Amino acid sequence: MKIWERKFRDTPAGTVDAKTLLGNFSKGSVNSSQTEMTSQGLLGVPEALMGEEQAKEEATVATRLASSFIEQGKYTEAETLLWYALKISEKTLGKEDLATVYCLGNLARLYQAQKQFVFAEFLYERAQQIATVKYKLVPKGTKQIVENYIQFLKETGREHHAAELKRHFDVLRNL
């Protein structure tokens, strides 16, 4: 079992239903005491039947809604949706797809906000590696992930590591 799957299973987010969150969000209320996440997608398409476009849309909807929850301080709901988006993205699009990178970056930002620094760093590092090696920081969102990681390193007292990553980032940006 992957570390992030264990993390999801062992957190309160593992008990919140992503589909219910989306339905309740549209009604203006969210109940975080739901049962296990279903295999039905937010858009009503079972995960097993999703094509690439549907998976990207599903991950995008979940990620946008999660960002809204993060801004409201509703971390359990955001965590549920982000893990759901990562699961869909990795399974359907692949572990190095751009949507997967964004899911990892958003999860890292969430854990940073919750001061769960060890896990945030793990996620930032994984997202940053894919963003720099595979995508060469071309999409704007990948640059933001690296900038967030640099800020994270500064916040956690690792100025030297942040400066080193920034130099590497600047070299890639100028290529």
**Residue written as token pair 């005491």:** 33
The domain ranges of the chain are: 3-26+50-173
Q: Which amino acid is at 98?
A: L
Would you list the DSSP string of 91-152? III-TTSHHHHHHHHHHHHHHHHTT-HHHHHHHHHHHHHHHHHTSTT-SHHHHHHHHHHHHH
**Residue written as token pair 């949706």:** 81
Among residues 101, 96, 72, the alpha carbon closest in space to that of 82 is found at 101
pLDDT digits (tens, 9 = 90+) for 116-149: 999 999 999 999 999 999 998 888 899 999 999 9
Question: Is-contact 30 18, C-beta < 8 A?
Answer: no
CATH architecture of 3-26+50-173: Alpha Horseshoe (1.25)
C-alpha to C-alpha distance for 63 and 107, rounded to whole angstroms: 9
List Cβ neighbours of 5 (8 Å cut-off, separation of 6 or more): none
Question: Is-contact 17 37, C-beta < 8 A?
Answer: yes
pLDDT digits (tens, 9 = 90+) for 27-54: 444 443 332 343 356 666 666 667 888 8
Instruction: Give the pTM.
Output: 0.76
Among residues 70, 82, 91, the alpha carbon closest in space to that of 8 is found at 82
Question: Is-contact 99 60, C-beta < 8 A?
Answer: yes
pLDDT digits (tens, 9 = 90+) for 78-94: 999 999 999 999 999 99
pLDDT at 17 over 80: no
